[in-house]
Amino acid sequence: MNPVVETKNLSKYYGNVLGLSDVSVEIHPGVVGLLGPNGAGKSTFLKLITGQLKPSLGQVYVFGQKIWNNPQLFADIGYCPETDAFFEDLSGWQFLTWMLQLHHFSACQAKEKANEILGFLHLAEDKDRLIRSYSRGMRQRLKIAQAIAHDPQLIILDEPLNGLDPLGRRKVIKYIRKMGEEGRTVIVSSHVLPEIEAMTKKIILIHQGKIFASGNIHYIRELIDSHPHIISIKCNQVRDLAAALIKAEEVIKVFFTPDPQEVQIETRQRDVFFDRLQKLILELDLNVEAITSPDDNLQAVFDYLIGEK
Amino acid sequence: MSSLAHLEKKKTLFFPSVRDIFKFYFFLGLNSRRSRLFLLSSIVPIVIAAIFKGSQILYGQPRFSGLFIYSNMIMMFFLHFLILIMTLFFGSSVCREEVDGSTLPYLVTRPLHKMAFIVGKYAASTLLVGLTVIFSLAICFLILNLTQLGEGGIYKVLARDAGVLFLGVMSYMALFTFLGIILKKAIFFGLLFSFGWENIIQYFPGQTQRFAVVHYLKSLLPAMTQEGFPFLLFRLEPTPLAQSILTLLGIVIFFLGLSCALYAWKEFIIDSK
């Protein structure tokens, strides 16, 4: 299957300042999280794949076509910019209907779609207020609305959850996941790890204009062989289990926590360890309450990759 | 679904894009604070005309007729000040306000022909400014010629002057649209051009005055009488009517074409806030 977005050796320089360096990625349908700290190059990447910026080097293909100066592609692309900017003299409803009309929808169709999406994002009651009077959260929801109102196949959201209240976040996260499940391509950027984690397991880690890693979070874990994994086991015979595990070659450390029924181990060979653990559970007749991986989250991967751990 | 299959039927056509952009910016212009501000500024000549006519009615016949004041003062105020200032602010902001206001991403990520954005917004701004100016001019004309409204011939003067002003709005708007695309401080350079170059060069003798846009606009008007204005040392050496119109249309096409090409080629960096 052809990728929806493909970049080949993509680089962008702002004068002498590096924005993005030699990025080659393929993005297929589903939700993809673009993760990196502020200034990492996320927005530059998104502006390049939406044809707002011209690549200094390399190529960008969207739906198999070059995106620069190819506006017809935008019939199926929705973009939510990071900047909090609007046509402030319009009401939320006017803004949305005009944005839809710029997608060549008739006035009637635009009004119908605008009402539908404003209702979905809980803006229906305030739709006739001028945008300048909107709260930060309302403005953010309106930005998302204009990106999805025309029912695009490719949705690109730059920090979409900024300024949203917890309820709004949950709703938008749910919607993004639904879009991905429907076979659309959703690219979401964020510097907040739990946000991305809640939306997808497919991530692209970006830092200092370069892609550090991309793929499933577990796949990325496997890439980092030298990075030890911590696994926590809660059971009724923690000391017997610890005694058995300390002899295993793949186990580096064994810790006891304040919880008398918990033992934590550190390993570099996760799969081998889990095979052994299964056998030990049967041999020792353990009553296991929980097996968790406290550092199996994006923060751990990210910190490790950017060298902060 | 094949990634390309659903795109094959969708072509971004130039004229539908111009139409949609025009409609959007005309609506925006009618509702914007800036338009209201400029509408207020267009009331200034109406007030001047009303004061003049009032004093004429109250204190008897003055030295100059209403038509004379209209042609030599009011029309010159429009030509030398009002259309310049209005087209400067509207024209230079065709592209610049979208960049400075960070609203450009909403427009460049729509299926709109890129050049259509410039043409559509230019057309909307030209019509808005043109209507404002002509409305104000017509009111001034009616006030100053209150006693001659029954004479059919005077309306030809109004129609001619409205046409000249509209051509002026078209020309200056195209020029300032171009300035707004190539310069960050377009207003500053636009002011220098409007009240420096245009106001000085037009009084130069010989061919030099042909380097000012206003020269061609004035060439479309009857020669200004020197009665009462003896301080004017330099005279307009008018260009023939047809040549003036063609030159003004040429200015529009040249600067608008250049603006479109530049806008399509240039990338605009929007600062993240």
CB contact under 8 A, A74 and B109: yes
Q: Which of B86, B82, B74 is nearest to B140 (CA)?
A: B74
Lowest mean pLDDT among A134-138, A222-226, A255-259, B98-102: A222-226
- B59 near A CB under 8 A: no
Please tell me the total number of residues recorded for chain B in this structure.
273
Task: Considering only the beta carbons, identify the residue of B16, B27, B101 that sits closest to A104.
Answer: B16
Residue-level pLDDT at A139: 95
* Residue with more model confidence, A283 or B203: A283
- A13 near B CB under 8 A: no
Q: Measure the CA–CA gap between B173 and A14, rounded to whole angstroms.
A: 31
Task: Considering only the beta carbons, identify the residue of A65, A81, A87 that sits closest to B28.
Answer: A87
Lowest mean pLDDT among A218-222, B31-35, B147-151: A218-222
Query: Quick check: A189 pLDDT over 90?
Result: yes
Residue-level pLDDT at B54: 86
Query: Quick check: B112 pLDDT over 50?
Result: yes
Domain presence at residue B3: no
For A31: left if phi > 0, alpha if psi spans -120 to 50, otherwise beta; the answer is: beta
Rounded alpha-carbon distances, angstroms, from residue B262 to A49, A57, B24, B179, B189: 21, 21, 22, 11, 19
Pair B38, B132: CB distance under 8 Å = yes
Task: Considering only the beta carbons, identify the residue of B28, B114, B272 that sits closest to A71.
Answer: B114
**pLDDT band at residue B194 under the 50/70/90 scheme:** very high
**pLDDT band at residue B37 under the 50/70/90 scheme:** confident
- The average pLDDT across A32-54 equals 91
- The average pLDDT across A98-112 equals 95
Q: Which of A294, A4, A77, A134 is nearest to B3 (CA)?
A: A4
CB contact under 8 A, A101 and B24: yes
- A163 near B CB under 8 A: no
Q: Measure the CA–CA gap between B241 and B218, rounded to whole angstroms.
A: 10
Q: What is the pLDDT of residues B196-223, one digit of tens each?
A: 998 888 777 777 888 999 999 999 988 6
Strongest mean pLDDT among A243-247, B229-233, B235-239, B258-262: B258-262
* Residue with more model confidence, B230 or A76: A76
**pLDDT band at residue A256 under the 50/70/90 scheme:** very high
* Residue with more model confidence, A175 or B224: A175
Q: Measure the CA–CA gap between A8 and A215, rounded to whole angstroms.
A: 17
Domain presence at residue B165: yes
Fold (topology level) of A5-222:
Rossmann fold (3.40.50)
Find the residue in B nearest to A71 (Cα): B111
User: What number does CATH give the domain A224-305?
Assistant: 3.30.70.100
Q: Which residue range forms the structural domain that includes residue B33?
A: 12-225+235-265
Residue-level pLDDT at B270: 79
Query: Quick check: A77 pLDDT over 70?
Result: yes
Residue-level pLDDT at A40: 86
Written as six digits, the tokens of A255 are 């810790």
Domain presence at residue B230: no
Domain presence at residue B131: yes
Q: Measure the CA–CA gap between B129 and B143, rounded to whole angstroms.
A: 21
- The average pLDDT across A258-282 equals 89
Residue B105 with chain A: CB contacts under 8 Å: 47, 50, 52, 79, 81, 83
State the complex-level ipTM.
0.83
Where do we find the tokens 């404003």?
A118
- B160 near A CB under 8 A: no
Find the residue in A nearest to B109 (Cα): A74
CATH 3.40.50.300 domain position(s) in chain A: 5-222
Query: Quick check: A217 pLDDT over 60?
Result: yes
Query: Quick check: A42 pLDDT over 50?
Result: yes
Pair A107, A134: CB distance under 8 Å = no
Query: Quick check: B228 pLDDT over 60?
Result: no
Q: Measure the CA–CA gap between A85 and B103, rounded to whole angstroms.
A: 6
Residue-level pLDDT at B5: 47
Residue B27 with chain A: CB contacts under 8 Å: 94, 98
- B3 near A CB under 8 A: yes
Query: Quick check: B2 pLDDT over 70?
Result: no
- Strands across the sheet containing A30-35: A77-80, A154-158, A185-190, A30-35, A202-207, A210-216
- Count of Cβ atoms closer than 10 Å to residue A229 Cβ: 19
Count: domains in chain B: 1
- B167 near A CB under 8 A: no
**pLDDT band at residue A298 under the 50/70/90 scheme:** low
Q: Measure the CA–CA gap between B214 and B194, rounded to whole angstroms.
A: 10
Query: Quick check: B232 pLDDT over 70?
Result: no
- The average pLDDT across B155-165 equals 92
Q: What is the pLDDT of residues B58-97, one digit of tens each?
A: 877 666 777 778 877 778 889 989 999 999 999 999 999 9
Q: Measure the CA–CA gap between A61 and A68, rounded to whole angstroms.
A: 9
**pLDDT above 90 coverage of chain A, percent:** 65
Which residues 276-305 of A are in CB contact (within 8 Å) with B?
none
